[in-house]
């Protein structure tokens, strides 16, 4: 079952405290937009926030019993979070609350959609380390969006409000955005929308401007390592390596974990080991040439002058600060090797840092080394 309390969100103090303030305040915007890099906890936070909004002992508590024969009001729980114990909290945590709806990208045939969605929700419910992964062209499907929009005409089934979580909301069609916008702008609506995206710029400005934005930041390397060790049962050495490779994304660390990173690394090192130092030194010479070229050095001053055209081309695409930063990383690796400070780990965390600067939103290279492209 997913982690589903605002108080338990990992390493997002600003977002968590903002959301708890919103829950405690009891006044809700029609739509919230959680944005930030992939795999940093936006989806988990969306579920935790939804649960807090539905909690029968918290923000979802009725002002008075709904009808003459209804049970008396439950005792009050925490004002700024889900209680975690009431029937609404239990249903929300198992993704089975009738007033909590999810939209997320799906691929495949139209006739299989219901089954695909049900399977995804089941996997999410059962696997505490579940990572949403989509095919490149997966999208939030129009028919599923329309199903949800049709429901909005009716009162919520059980709760005082309805919550719709739209995961990766940047994967929608134009006409879906228009329909979504209309729903979001509905005055006095009893629905709270929670949208998440790792590609904020791909959402239409009309949607962005109608949502209350909440920013999520990359996770610390140590946070990811600790999570892997404590919650995912990953061995310490492997967890450290994954933390260094993850570029602040827990989802990325969990996906890399499936690929047996230590084995991959050992294979890579077996190939590299004898030549490792030499390779790094050659890279240093190359970077120094780039730096010289940046400062207008003549051909005769370049060490690798037989590759002058390539050097000029690469130098034009990198600024001097970036070149110096890469040189520093290589220096660090060399120092670590000389000092015998777990050189393999030093190398990989160095590579991860060099590569980290080049990660596009939503795309993760499988091997950091593959991005070492200068």
Q: Which residue has the tokens 């084995």?
A: 263
d(CA 371, CA 354): 8
d(CA 165, CA 196): 8
d(CA 184, CA 4): 25
Q: How far is the CB of 73 from Zn ion (least distance, A)?
A: 13
Name the residue nearer to Zn ion (CB basis): 89 or 169.
Answer: 89
Is residue 48 a contact partner of residue 25, using CB atoms and an 8 Å limit? no
Surface-to-core class of residue 327, CB atoms within 10 Å of its CB (0-12 exposed, 13-18 middle, 19+ buried): middle
Q: How far is the CB of 19 from Zn ion (least distance, A)?
A: 16
> Which residue stretch of 53-61, 63-71, 110-118, 259-267 sits at the interface with Zn ion (rule: CB under 5 A)?
53-61
Q: Give which of 150, 46, 64 is closest to 104, Cα–Cα.
A: 46
Binding mask 3-42 for Zn ion (x = CB under 5 A): ----------------------------------------
Name the residue nearer to Zn ion (CB basis): 70 or 306.
Answer: 70
Q: How far is the CB of 123 from Zn ion (least distance, A)?
A: 25
Q: What is the residue-wise DSSP string for 263-312?
A: HHHHHHHHHHGGGHHHHHHHHHHHHHHHHHHHTT--GGG-TTGGGHHHHH
> Which residue stretch of 52-60, 134-142, 228-236, 354-362 sits at the interface with Zn ion (rule: CB under 5 A)?
52-60
Binding to Zn ion by residue 53, rule CB under 5 A?
no
Binding to Zn ion by residue 55, rule CB under 5 A?
yes
Name the residue nearer to Zn ion (CB basis): 57 or 353.
Answer: 57
Q: How far is the CB of 185 from Zn ion (least distance, A)?
A: 30
Q: Give which of 128, 140, 60 is closest to 93, Cα–Cα.
A: 128
Name the residue nearer to Zn ion (CB basis): 81 or 289.
Answer: 81
> Which residue stretch of 4-12, 56-64, 203-211, 279-287 sits at the interface with Zn ion (rule: CB under 5 A)?
56-64
Q: How far is the CB of 88 from Zn ion (least distance, A)?
A: 5
d(CA 322, CA 328): 10
> Which residue stretch of 55-63, 197-205, 246-254, 258-266 sits at the interface with Zn ion (rule: CB under 5 A)?
55-63
Q: How far is the CB of 162 from Zn ion (least distance, A)?
A: 16
Binding to Zn ion by residue 48, rule CB under 5 A?
no
Q: Which residue has the tokens 């109608």?
A: 210
Q: How far is the CB of 30 from Zn ion (least distance, A)?
A: 23
Find the angle CA(80)-CA(81)-CA(82) to the nearest 5 degrees.
145
Q: Distance between the two ends of the chain, CA-based, in angstroms?
A: 43
Give CA separation, 123 vs 2, 137, 138, in Å: 10, 21, 18
Which of 15, 16, 53, 89 contacts Zn ion by CB under 5 A?
A: 89
> Which residue stretch of 78-86, 105-113, 311-319, 324-332 sits at the interface with Zn ion (rule: CB under 5 A)?
78-86
Binding to Zn ion by residue 160, rule CB under 5 A?
no
Q: How far is the CB of 60 from Zn ion (least distance, A)?
A: 7
Which of 37, 50, 83, 165 contacts Zn ion by CB under 5 A?
A: 83
Instruction: Please tell me the count of residues contacting Zn ion according to CB under 5 A.
Output: 5
Is residue 160 a contact partner of residue 188, using CB atoms and an 8 Å limit? no
- The interface with Zn ion within residues 268-287 (CB under 5 A) comprises none
Binding to Zn ion by residue 86, rule CB under 5 A?
yes
Q: How far is the CB of 81 from Zn ion (least distance, A)?
A: 9
Is residue 33 a contact partner of residue 197, using CB atoms and an 8 Å limit? yes
- The interface with Zn ion within residues 178-217 (CB under 5 A) comprises none
d(CA 103, CA 94): 16
> Which residue stretch of 87-95, 209-217, 218-226, 277-285 sits at the interface with Zn ion (rule: CB under 5 A)?
87-95
Q: Which residue has the tokens 């209804």?
A: 70
Q: Which residues bind Zn ion (CB under 5 A)?
A: 55, 57, 83, 86, 89
């Amino acid at each position: 079952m997913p982690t589903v309390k605002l108080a338990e969100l990992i390493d997002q103090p600003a977002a968590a405290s903002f959301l708890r303030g919103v829950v405690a305040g009891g006044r809700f915007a029609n739509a919230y937009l959680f944005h930030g890099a992939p795999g940093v906890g936006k989806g988990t936070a969306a579920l935790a926030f939804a649960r807090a909004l539905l909690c029968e002992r918290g923000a979802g508590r009725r002002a008075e019993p709904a009808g003459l024969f209804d049970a008396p009001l439950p005792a009050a729980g925490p004002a700024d979070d889900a209680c975690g114990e009431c029937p609404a909290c239990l249903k929300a945590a198992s993704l089975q609350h009738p007033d909590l709806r999810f939209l997320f990208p799906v691929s495949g045939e139209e006739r299989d959609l219901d089954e695909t969605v049900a399977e995804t929700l089941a996997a999410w419910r059962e696997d505490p380390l579940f990572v949403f992964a989509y095919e490149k062209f997966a999208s939030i499907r129009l028919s599923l969006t329309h199903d949800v929009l049709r429901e909005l005409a009716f009162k919520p089934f059980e709760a005082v409000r309805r919550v719709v979580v739209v995961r990766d909301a940047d994967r929608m069609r134009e006409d879906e955005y228009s329909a979504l916008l209309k729903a979001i702008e509905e005055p006095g609506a009893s629905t709270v929308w929670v949208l998440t995206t790792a590609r904020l710029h791909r959402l239409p400005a009309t949607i962005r401007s109608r949502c209350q934005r909440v920013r999520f930041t990359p996770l610390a390397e140590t946070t990811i390592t600790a999570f892997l060790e404590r919650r995912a049962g990953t061995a310490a050495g492997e967890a450290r390596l994954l933390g260094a490779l993850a570029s602040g994304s827990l989802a990325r660390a969990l996906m890399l974990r499936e690929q047996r990173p230590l084995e991959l690394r050992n294979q890579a090192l077996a190939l590299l080991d004898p030549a490792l130092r030499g390779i790094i030194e050659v890279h240093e010479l190359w970077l120094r040439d780039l730096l010289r070229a940046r400062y207008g050095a003549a051909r005769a001053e370049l060490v690798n002058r037989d590759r002058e055209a390539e050097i000029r081309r690469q130098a034009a695409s990198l600024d001097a600060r970036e070149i110096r930063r890469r040189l520093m990383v290589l220096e660090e690796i060399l120092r670590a090797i000389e000092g015998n400070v777990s050189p393999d780990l030093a190398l990989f965390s160095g590579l991860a840092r060099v590569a980290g600067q080049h990660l596009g939103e939503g795309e993760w290279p499988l091997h950091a080394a593959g991005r070492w492209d200068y």
